[in-house]
Amino acid sequence: MLILECPYCGVVADETDLHGGGEAHLKRFGPGSSDEDFQTYLFHRANPKGVHFERWRHVSGCGKWFHAARNTMTLEVYGTYSAQTYEPPKAIINAVIKKHPEWEGYK
């Protein structure tokens, strides 16, 4: 069972109380953008083997969206953080590097 701590209400929730929202920090393209950019925003996903930054919603709790850093190969969780950011905070990046010094970094 995947367990994540909601950074808003502090509840440590099982995955059955949460809803996954896919890749985080996507750059949004709307009307007026090129077909290529629009397609990339809507459909293309990094889907990495390894460190993944993703969105989650605390559906059976406070209802808020938040972000998590997780490893798709080992299922370890590096931490969760507020959704009010364009990229992962330093503390999260450091938590990843601490466990995986070889990690190529946030792209």
Partner 1 sequence: MRRYSAFAIAREAARYHQGWERAWASPKPKKKYDVVIVGAGGHGLATAFYLGKNFGITNVAIIEKGWLGGGNTGRNTTIIRSNYLQDPSAAIYEKARSLYETMSQDLNYNVMFSPRGVMMLAQTESEVRGYERTAHANALQGVTTEFISPQRVKELVPIMNIDGPRYPVLGALWQARAGTARHDAVAWGYARACSDMGMDIIQKCEVTGVRQANGVVTGVDTTHGQIDCDKLAMLVAGNASHLADMAGFRLPMESVALQALVSEPIKPCIDVVVMANTVHGYMSQSDKGELVIGGGTDGFNNYTQRGSFHHVEETVRALVETFPIISRLKMLRQWGGIVDVTGDRSPIIGKTPLGNCFINCGWGTGGFKSIPGSGWAMAETVAKGEPGALAGAFGLNRFTEGRFIDESVAAGVAH
CA–CA dist 51, 100 (Å, integer): 9
Least distance from partner 1 to the Cβ atom of residue 91, Å: 22
CA–CA dist 90, 102 (Å, integer): 17
Which of 69, 71, 72, 80 lies closest to 9, judged by CA? 80
Task: Using the rule CB under 8 A, give the single segment among 5-13, 20-28, 87-95, 98-106 that binds partner 1.
Answer: 20-28
Least distance from Zn ion to the Cβ atom of residue 44, Å: 29
Task: Using the rule CB under 5 A, give the single segment among 18-26, 31-39, 44-52, 56-64 that binds Zn ion.
Answer: 56-64
